[in-house]
């Protein structure tokens, strides 16, 4: 059983996940699965040479995430997952529309994604961290680059387009979800003092307890 923490790059998924683990981990014997666990050594090559590496890296994300979920499910774990495999499809679709992933490659990806999706249980809840493009770029992503907390994968202009396009895709995806879900603006204050974070805690606890 797991809750997915979702959102665009720089939205604060890792921060929220680690704070949730601190607040709820002992009560539910919860584990936290960090997105970085699935990062491949060639991840930067996907940004530098997308036509050559996008398909391989997206397949790697999908496979590694699916295998991780299956292992934790088999162990009967309760966990928090940074990004769901539904979000993997968002990124792969974007690469396919840009031409970085060919039509034939995307057909292979889509079929494999459907098999992966059918082979695992889906999240009992989705936490979506949302934010407008300008705030996300200025207060989260760029600030992270300047503070050396994250590597800048794309030049500024391409980065703006990347974040804006993903925000549109994420909004469409979130509206299409029929599962238990909650939308939370990204956090500009200390998490422990945030009403929004308290809502996240209550939502996650209810998901783990099976409350509707």
Render pLDDT for 65-89 as a digit per residue (tens, 0 to 9).
Answer: 999 999 999 999 999 999 999 999 9
Closest residue by Cα to residue 90 from 56, 127, 47, 61: 61
C-alpha to C-alpha distance for 210 and 130, rounded to whole angstroms:
25
Q: Is pLDDT at 34 greater than 80 in this prediction?
A: yes
pTM of the complete model: 0.84
2-209: in CATH 3.40.50.1000:
no
* In the chain, % of residues over pLDDT 70: 85
Listed range (74-88, 137-151, 162-176) with the worst mean pLDDT: 137-151
Render pLDDT for 79-119 as a digit per residue (tens, 0 to 9).
Answer: 999 999 999 999 999 999 989 999 999 999 999 999 999 99
Q: Is pLDDT at 147 greater than 90 in this prediction?
A: no
- Per domain, the residue ranges of the chain are 2-209
C-alpha to C-alpha distance for 105 and 189, rounded to whole angstroms:
43
Helix (H), strand (E) counts: the chain: 9, 5
Q: Is pLDDT at 29 greater than 70 in this prediction?
A: yes
Helix (H, G, I), strand (E, B) or coil at 46: helix
Bridge partners of 78, per DSSP, are: 30
Start-to-end C-alpha separation, the chain: 15
C-alpha to C-alpha distance for 57 and 41, rounded to whole angstroms:
10
C-alpha to C-alpha distance for 140 and 38, rounded to whole angstroms:
22
């Amino acid at each position: 059983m797991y809750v997915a923490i979702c959102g665009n790059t720089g939205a604060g998924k890792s921060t929220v996940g680690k704070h949730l683990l601190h607040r709820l981990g002992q009560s539910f014997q919860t584990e936290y699965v960090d997105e970085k666990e699935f990062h491949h050594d060639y991840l930067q090559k996907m940004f530098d040479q997308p036509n050559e590496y996008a398909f391989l890296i997206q397949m790697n994300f999908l496979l590694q995430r699916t295998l991780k979920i299956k292992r934790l499910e088999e162990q009967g774990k309760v966990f928090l997952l940074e990004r769901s495999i539904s979000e993997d499809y968002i990124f792969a679709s974007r690469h396919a529309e840009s031409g970085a992933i060919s039509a034939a490659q995307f057909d292979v990806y889509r079929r494999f994604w459907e098999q992966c999706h059918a082979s695992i249980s889906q999240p009992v809840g989705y936490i979506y961290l949302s934010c407008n493009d300008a705030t996300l770029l200025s207060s989260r992503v760029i600030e992270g680059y300047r503070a050396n907390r994250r590597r800048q994968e794309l030049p500024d202009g391409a980065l703006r387009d990347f974040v804006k396009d993903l925000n549109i895709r994420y909004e469409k995806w979130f509206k299409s979800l029929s599962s238990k879900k909650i939308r939370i603006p990204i956090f500009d204050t200390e998490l422990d003092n945030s009403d929004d974070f308290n809502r996240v805690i209550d939502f996650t606890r209810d998901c783990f307890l099976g409350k509707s």
